Amino acid sequence: MAELKDKLILVVDDEARMVNFMRMNLELEGARVASASNGREALEHAREDMPDVVLLDIMMPGMDGFETLRRLRQFSQVPVLILTAKSEEDDRVRGLELGADDYIAKPFSHRELVSRIRAVLRRHYAAPPVPQTMVKVDERLSIDFARREVLVAGQRVNLRPTEYRLLYHLVQNAGYVQTHEMLLTKVWGPEYREESHYLRLYITYLRQKIEEDPAKPKYILTERGVGYRFVDFENKA
Amino acid sequence: MAELKDKLILVVDDEARMVNFMRMNLELEGARVASASNGREALEHAREDMPDVVLLDIMMPGMDGFETLRRLRQFSQVPVLILTAKSEEDDRVRGLELGADDYIAKPFSHRELVSRIRAVLRRHYAAPPVPQTMVKVDERLSIDFARREVLVAGQRVNLRPTEYRLLYHLVQNAGYVQTHEMLLTKVWGPEYREESHYLRLYITYLRQKIEEDPAKPKYILTERGVGYRFVDFENKA
DNA sequence: TCCGCGTGTCAGATTATTTGACAAGCGCGT
DNA sequence: ACGCGCTTGTCAAATAATCTGACACGCGGA
């Protein structure tokens, strides 16, 4: 399990209260915290301190979070979580497209903050470089991608080719939101980027086949305005 | 264009006449030739001399070509061309599965020998590590894989998803034979390895769409008993 | 030359994908 | 708390792709 202990986390936000709130929460978990109140400082810190994770506020005066992220990505692959207002769905999509790893919507709880950071750390430092075959999600659901076999409550369910590819991409990124565009691009091809219709339909099909109650999905979660996220089944703490 | 000049070619054959024949042909092209008459010697040479290409006879007393290839592949990625009797189609398939890059059927001409070696060198030393998008095969046929557009004699032809994937894998390996199994695995998935029926059908579809005369294919060539080969359109010398 | 196996082709059966229309639900502003 | 608008979810029919099975063809080996 990925631990926050002794990890260096760079918090970037122009509001001192928010920085303090996060610092408190993160230090409670044993993490070290560096902070910056604008984009320029953030880039300096990122270069010099080599943080393990960056928490980046989008709404900042001067160089905003997007621009900061874009420049950061020119020299660093450090995992980045962006902080957005609850309602700003477009900001999340844009951030993810610029290379953010995930987002946290303000306001957020201690639990949410820590769990997202853990997930991102796990992927970056413990992630298998080879794609997973044979995934056991929980007692009810397991998938063998090499054999194209999906077992739900002991029963084999038959997935169609597109359903299969969609599930594959969702599960390979379990715990991470995948935007509509990402999924459409990977499953149907780049020329389908705008056709979110297809995606909704195939999400429905998949849920009907693998969810216990398709109306209350436990595996394939909707991220309104952004995309879908397969449940973070490896991070149950 | 890949050149044989000054390249070191390791020829492995137990028949001295064959070795001499190849040495003569290769030195005419300015290549340097090392030779071995059995598997053990071949492995030694491969380790110590770092040849640019290996020509490996399959039928040898003692350690045969397959075993030699298997052991060679444990420590080296050097391109290997296997030499097989005209009729031994199974040998070719087996050799390719063990990691040979191509085969040459005995007896062969100077032209055939040199052209196959050139092709293998081109792929290994000049090959782009990123997959090609936008391929111009000749005046009649060009393909834009990013846009999923195939132009035949100026006309856009519409390929179905499977036809598309099949063409993609053939063209990405233009000049190289792809065994039935390779194509079935890549296009349909590993569980279709035995279903060569599908492959034949889709080869027919593709030829009808891109060949001028589907009965006399110029692009997608049949390698009887082995697989298919997209014409080596970059190596017209 | 003839035979046999691998390859090529066709048309029909089946299955998957796409389309289009509409219902449901969430979250925002009032 | 309420209703509105936009996103998401669902259904069934239309279209398209894939698969099946039968058979013809033709190369290469004996």
**Closest-CA residue of chain A to B188:** A161
Are the beta carbons of A214 and A207 closer than 8 angstroms? yes
d(CA B103, CA B92): 7
A189 touches chain B (CB under 8 A): yes
Nearest to B148 among A146, A147, A189 (CB): A189
Nucleotides of D under 7 A from a protein CB: 7-12, 16-22, 26-30
d(CA B47, CA B39): 12
Predicted confidence at residue B2, as pLDDT, reads 63
| Partners of B178 in beta bridges | B228
Sequence-distant (≥ 6) Cβ neighbours of residue B50 within 8 angstroms: B8, B78
pLDDT at B207 over 60: yes
The H or E element that residue B197 is part of is helix B196-210
Chain A to chain B Cβ contacts (< 8 Å): 8
d(CA B95, CA A123): 39
pTM summary value: 0.82
Q: What is the CATH number of domain B8-126?
A: 3.40.50.2300
Which residue is the nearest neighbor of C26, CA to C1'?
A224
d(CA B75, CA B102): 19
DSSP 8-state symbol, A88: -
Fold type of domain A135-230: Arc Repressor Mutant, subunit A (1.10.10)
Instruction: Please report, in angstroms and rounded to a whole number, the separation of the first and last CA atoms in chain B.
Output: 9
Query: Which has the higher per-residue pLDDT, A91 or B234?
Result: A91
Sequence-distant (≥ 6) Cβ neighbours of residue B68 within 8 angstroms: B12, B39, B42, B43, B56, B60
Confidence of residue B89 (pLDDT cuts 50, 70, 90): confident
d(CA A113, CA A18): 13
Long-range CB contacts for residues A43-46, cutoff 8 Å, separation at least 24: A43/A68, A43/A71, A43/A72, A45/A10, A46/A10, A46/A72, A46/A75, A46/A76, A46/A78
Contacts of A145 in chain B (CB under 8 A): none
Mean pLDDT of B151-161: 93
Nearest to B50 by CA among B78, B88, B15: B78
Asked whether residue A214's C-beta has any atom of DNA/RNA strand D within 7 A, the reply is yes
d(CA A33, CA A40): 18
Ranges of CATH 3.40.50.2300 domains, chain A: 8-126
Predicted confidence at residue B148, as pLDDT, reads 86
| A230 three-class SS | strand
pLDDT at A32 over 70: yes
The H or E element that residue A118 is part of is helix A110-121
| B42 three-class SS | helix
Output the average pLDDT for chain A.
91
Predicted confidence at residue B9, as pLDDT, reads 97
pLDDT digits (tens, 9 = 90+) for B5-25: 899 999 999 999 999 999 999
| A84 three-class SS | strand
Confidence of residue B237 (pLDDT cuts 50, 70, 90): very low
Nearest to B148 among A146, A147, A191 (CB): A191
Ranges of CATH 1.10.10.10 domains, chain A: 135-230
